[in-house]
Amino acid sequence: MLLRSCSRVAGFTRKSIFSVVAVPALAIGIYRVSKFQYSTMSSPNLFIAPQSAPSWAFTPQSLLDETHRLIESSKQFYDSLAQLSNPTVENLVKPYMHHENGVGLIESQLTFPQQVSADKEIRDASVQATEFLQNFGIEQSLRHDLFLQFDKIWNELKDKSFEQGSQEYEIYKYVEKIHRDYTRDGLQLPEDKRDKVKQLKIKIAANSLEFSKNLGEQKEFVAFTKEELDGVSESVMDQFEQFKDENGTTKYKVTFKYPDIFPVLKTAKNPKTRKLAFARDQDKVPQNEKLFVETLQLRNELADILGYSTYANYNLELKMAKNQDNVWKFLNELKDKLKPLGLKEAENLKQIKQKECESLGLPYDGHYYVWDHRYYDNKYLKDNYNVDLEKISEYYPIESTISGMLSIYETLLKLKFVEETDPEKRSVWHEDVKQLAVWKMDNPSKPEFVGWIYFDLHPRDGKYGHAANFGISASYVKEDGTRSYPVTALVCNFSKPSAKKPSLLKHNEISTFFHELGHGIHDLVGENRLTTFNGPGAVPWDFVEAPSQMLEFWTWNERELHELSSHYESGEKIPKDLLQSLISTKHVDGALFALRQLHFGLFDMYVHTSKNVAKLDLLKLWNELREEVSLVENGDTFTKGYDSFGHIMSDSYSAGYYGYMWAEVFAADMYHTRFAADPLDSKAGVQYRDIVLGRGGLYETNDNLREFLGREPSEEAFLKELGLN
């Protein structure tokens, strides 16, 4: 997943993308201890980064002071451009784009800490800074005087042609984008409507920020006895905090962070335990419902003022799908194709439930509930495919596994990762964070610095609770002709080491890291002159997941998984039969998984195409749609999972969740066309790096795909992956 710091911050059109903490000292003598084994070269002088990593040494007050300075200096700059009597490319466009290039890093230094800082006061100051910057950015994006200046330039350029790859072409595309953004913000409308647009955008941004903060700051948990957690592994139990309740009974705190809640839903035998854990997780942020409903209403108002039939059509205009009709067609056709296969999978799991209930002496009511699914899906894999995910994870301790994954990226994309260990050069927001320099190795004797990447791997209070790539700054060419190098961060929440075991990665976590690192590399290898056109945020948002989804295919390949493995105690490779049993499960219950994604995508489209949000029964829609599409039952428990559905409050993913499935069409096509025969083909890997990733958003995505694939994109591989071809 990609996240952005804030949209059009300080008036800048650069869209900052937020798209892992190092392991603490481990107990020697209990298990094997290893560090991240990033490869080194015989000549370390080849790897001296030409650009330092950014500073994170802020206090709450200094962070806010810098925010106000940035806003004031930016306002003065924009005022000066608005006063130009004869705007030209030289005196308007170039200063504007250089200013935009330069402030991206500063804005991220101010807004990113809310996601990762261990200091609540700094997180709060960062949230406050983000709100200031968002409001200022909205005001600047709606300045009619600047619109008139760019309108004049665009009218002079729009009928001209420029050679692709030239600086003039990039400037032309830049002015086109700026002008398009202004018109989509309603700058051509009368003043009263422009004022209303500003009010709506400020309130929508504030709601989104508060929604996200509520999710990040929530510390809810559900408590169970040891007996109620029967089936949960000892290693997972070790990570739960224990306490005595008012009756003196020992209870275990299960938080709603992934490493806690997912193992309970997957392995707790008691259905009452799973039901309570599921319901409490779904309803953990009730304060978000009001924000969600109000935002839907505000988005409808915004779309109406701007002349769009629905908010979905407004937000889809710049995506590959173009409009809501195409999205509805895609989602509904896919749902209809998947449903027969999904019904077979659900019936199989229901039979497994019946057999278990009979063997345990539990009543079987003939139903398959939503809180049953992770448990029986996991049980089916374990009992029928000999897949013990806990056992498999013992072969993937986090340190050696991540080192191996980086090696795959190095071979495939001709890159090199070098950890910064010099205390004088390390610049991190938490002592456990890893900082790495990334280099291109097309010519090994002359490595080319690419940029910095951070790994922040484990949960902590107040930290962003899922897995995402955060683009801190994009690549660009400075006024003096030298390049400013990008910075990006992978923020994940893998389980921490315990006193008995190191942090062990489940297979799905290996896929998660590979996926998010794909976003990170996309952030790093941009070759355009302007930040606007570099990184994943520059491509259509329904393509943005495709490069990372493609890279997940490597985590299902026997050769790569075997090489990544190293048992945390013995160092042995994973047994072939255990590995093959895992790989054989790739498509098991795949239709049900895809239908679950379609539930999210369809709900997203329903709420963003509704003309009357007040009449929408969100609770009913969410739960009945889940029953209909996901093929799992709600029973007597309706939940409000939409209150923690962060995507839907994002400008990019709202009316855009379908993009996960849409992008998989291209992901499967790219992998099966160029990499299936040889997953470590560096020639294909470098072409992918330079064409699909490096070109960013300067050229049409379909043109890049045609060049990389050697033909028009096809859905054949995607349908085959789903078992539909």
Q: Which two tokens stand for residue 380?
A: 């089916």
Q: How many CA atoms, within 13 angstroms, populate the side-chain half-sphere of residue 48? A: 4
> What is the H or E stretch that residue 440 is in?
strand 434-440
Task: Name the residues annotated as catalytic.
Answer: 516
Q: Which two tokens stand for residue 636?
A: 């007597």
User: Distance between CA 467 and CA 518 in Å, rounded?
Assistant: 13
Q: How many CA atoms, within 13 angstroms, populate the side-chain half-sphere of residue 145? A: 12
Contact 538, 697 (CB under 8 A): yes
> What is the H or E stretch that residue 582 is in?
helix 576-583
Helical packing angle, 258-267 and 271-282, nearest 10°: 150
Q: Which residue has the tokens 């490597």?
A: 554
> What is the H or E stretch that residue 439 is in?
strand 434-440
- DSSP secondary structure of 487-533: EEEEE--PPPP-SSS--B--HHHHHHHHHHHHHHHHHH---SSSGGG
Alpha helices in 584-700 (DSSP H): 590-609, 618-630, 659-674, 682-687
What backbone phi and psi angles, to 5 degrees, belong to 87?
A: -65, 140
Distance of alpha carbon 211 from the chain centroid: 17
- DSSP secondary structure of 244-272: E-TTS-EEEEEESSHHHHHHHHHH---HH
Alpha helices in 362-455 (DSSP H): 373-384, 389-393, 398-413
The answer for residues whose C-beta is within 8 angstroms of residue 619's C-beta and 6 or more apart is 638, 640
Contact 565, 396 (CB under 8 A): yes
Q: Which two tokens stand for residue 563?
A: 């090489």
What are the angstrom distances between the C-alpha of 59 and each of 125, 161, 395, 412, 661?
9, 49, 41, 41, 42
Instruction: Provide long-range contacts, Cβ within 8 A and 24+ apart, for 645-648.
Output: 645/600, 645/603, 646/211, 646/212, 646/215, 646/466, 647/1, 647/600, 647/604, 648/292, 648/603, 648/604, 648/607
Output helix, strand, coil percentages for the chain, rounded to the nearest 5: 55, 10, 35
First vs last C-alpha separation in the chain: 28
Contact 544, 2 (CB under 8 A): yes
Strand partners, 633: 369
Distance of alpha carbon 61 from the chain centroid: 30
Contact 588, 579 (CB under 8 A): no
Q: Which two tokens stand for residue 464?
A: 């962003």
Q: Which two tokens stand for residue 717?
A: 């591989």
Distance of alpha carbon 350 from the chain centroid: 33
